[in-house]
């Protein structure tokens, strides 16, 4: 087989696919990219058995064939080459790459050894604008858990209905629910997407104006857009009833400038205990008092902010890392924090900066205050 391709175009596609490949693979063939050539169409695949990504580019060729080529070797070579046409040609057991600088030979494997992507039997499908999917992923993925004993909480829960799409992530300390009523599915469906394929999608779809077709059944999901296909295995299990965790009655309402509050939390938390990262919020009238103390090292800090507060005087403790993460993942100027008691979760919602039909709810569990 022989084909000519632009080095920069090839590198761009391979860098995207490289995110699929693990550092240590059980099967040596998975350290490779699969090249499948059909005349002037080159299909390139990467897989870790759980996730397979395929991209298609146009090349100059009139031959056919399939080979698996070392991903690391090829990427390292392309990164150092200036933009130019490259000629790939298979001879004996080697693939020869010719550039204006010289020639490079690398061994290849037979393409038939590469594992095939799973085909999805009798799938349901839904179409989502790429930019909305990218936003949904970036707003939720940070709240997923890392506990191997609770795999369902290590992914993002996709909940499709005929009037809305909802995406939820939680690690039992924090929870994010991102809902859209301006996009919807043909039929109700629920599945849990693993973190790795979502991270890949988020990177490719950021700022995209393409539509993404999602096909899914009980075991797998397939995302198709532009010249990319991503197929992944879903996380098996039942997602916890997240609605039951969101407190309904929250009479204490705090409205505060998000940027000012975030900077205060970051500064004050420097003085908090390195084990609990605990900060204390004390609300009374129009004043919010933020404080932290590390008793072991006699460090403490306190700041006052002007806010709008409706409710009883209240003191509540939060993990500053969780609070900072949530505030950083919002883009609004002002946020509303609703609370009921010091031992019940606080709910954060943006007041402005959301599109019509877009709803973001963030929940953070309190930590016990040392009085």
* Residue 207 confidence (pLDDT): 79
Boundary of a domain, candidates 190, 219, 243:
243
77 occurs within a structural domain: yes
What percent of the chain stands above pLDDT 70? 100
Query: How many residues does the structure list for the chain?
Result: 371
User: What's the whole-number mean pLDDT along residues 143-169?
Assistant: 96
Q: Do 276 and 193 fall into the same domain? A: no
pLDDT at 15 over 90: yes
Per-residue pLDDT of 104-132, as tens digits, reads 999 999 999 999 999 999 999 999 999 99
pLDDT at 16 over 70: yes
Q: Do 151 and 98 fall into the same domain? A: no
pLDDT at 347 over 90: yes
Residue 365: partners with Cβ closer than 8 Å, 6 or more residues away: 172, 173, 174, 322, 345
118 occurs within a structural domain: no
* 300, 292 Cβ separation under 8 angstroms: yes
Q: Do 308 and 254 fall into the same domain? A: yes
Per-residue pLDDT of 315-343, as tens digits, reads 999 999 999 999 999 999 999 999 999 99
Per-residue pLDDT of 280-289, as tens digits, reads 999 999 999 9
Average pLDDT for the chain: 96
Q: Do 138 and 27 fall into the same domain? A: no
Q: Do 101 and 165 fall into the same domain? A: no
Boundary of a domain, candidates 199, 224, 243:
243
List the structure tokens of 29.
């063939």
Domain with residue 301: its CATH number is 3.10.150.10
Question: What is the three-class DSSP state of 32?
Answer: strand
Q: Band of the pLDDT at 137, cuts 50, 70, 90? A: very high
> What is the DSSP code string of 339-352?
ESSTTS-EEEEESS
pLDDT at 370 over 80: no
Q: Do 237 and 271 fall into the same domain? A: no
* Residue 92 confidence (pLDDT): 85
Cα–Cα dist 267/319, whole Å: 14
Q: Do 259 and 318 fall into the same domain? A: yes
How, if at all, do strands 103-110 and 64-70 pair?
Answer: antiparallel
Q: Number of structural domains, the chain?
A: 3
pLDDT at 371 over 70: no
* Residue 369 confidence (pLDDT): 85
C-alpha distances out from residue 5 to 9, 60, 72, 111, Å: 8, 7, 19, 19
User: What's the whole-number mean pLDDT along residues 87-108?
Assistant: 95
* Residue 218 confidence (pLDDT): 94
Q: Which uninterrupted H or E stretch holds 14? A: helix 7-18
Cα–Cα dist 54/115, whole Å: 13
What residue numbers bound the domain in which 29 lies? 2-113
* Residue 93 confidence (pLDDT): 86
What percent of the chain stands above pLDDT 90? 96
214 occurs within a structural domain: no
């Amino acid at each position: 087989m022989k084909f000519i391709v632009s080095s920069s175009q090839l590198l761009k596609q391979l860098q995207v696919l490289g995110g699929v490949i693990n550092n240590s693979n059980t099967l040596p063939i998975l350290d490779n990219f699969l090249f499948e050539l059909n005349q002037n169409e080159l299909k390139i695949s990467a897989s870790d058995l759980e996730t397979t990504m395929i991209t298609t580019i146009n090349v100059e060729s009139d031959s056919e064939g399939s080979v698996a080529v070392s991903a690391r070797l090829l990427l390292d070579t392309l990164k150092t080459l200036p933009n130019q046409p490259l000629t790939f040609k298979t001879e004996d057991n080697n693939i020869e790459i010719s550039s204006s600088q010289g020639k490079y030979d690398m061994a290849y494997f037979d393409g038939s050894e590469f594992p095939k992507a799973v085909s999805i039997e009798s799938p349901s499908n839904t179409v989502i604008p790429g930019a909305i999917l990218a936003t949904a992923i970036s707003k939720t993925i940070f709240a997923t858990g890392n506990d191997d004993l609770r795999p369902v909480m290590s992914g993002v829960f996709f909940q499709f209905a005929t009037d809305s799409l909802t995406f939820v992530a939680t690690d039992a300390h924090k929870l994010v629910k991102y809902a859209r009523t301006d996009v919807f599915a043909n039929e109700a469906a629920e599945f849990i997407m693993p973190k790795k394929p979502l991270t890949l999608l988020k990177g490719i779809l950021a700022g995209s104006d393409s539509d993404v077709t999602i096909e899914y059944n009980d075991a797998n999901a397939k995302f198709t857009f532009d010249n990319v296909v991503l197929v992944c295995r879903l996380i098996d299990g039942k997602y916890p009833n997240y609605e039951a965790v969101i407190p309904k009655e929250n009479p204490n309402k705090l409205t505060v400038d998000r940027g000012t509050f975030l900077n205060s939390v970051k500064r004050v938390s420097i003085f908090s205990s390195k084990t609990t990262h605990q900060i204390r919020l004390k609300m009374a009238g129009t004043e919010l008092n933020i404080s932290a103390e590390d008793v072991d090292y006699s460090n403490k800090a306190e700041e006052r902010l002007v806010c709008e507060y409706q409710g009883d005087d209240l003191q509540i403790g939060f993990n500053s890392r969780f609070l900072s993460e949530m505030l950083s993942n919002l883009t609004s100027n002002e946020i509303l924090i609703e609370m009921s008691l010091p031992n019940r979760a606080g709910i954060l919602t943006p007041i402005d900066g959301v599109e019509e039909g877009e709803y973001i709810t963030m929940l953070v569990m309190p930590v016990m205050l040392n009085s």
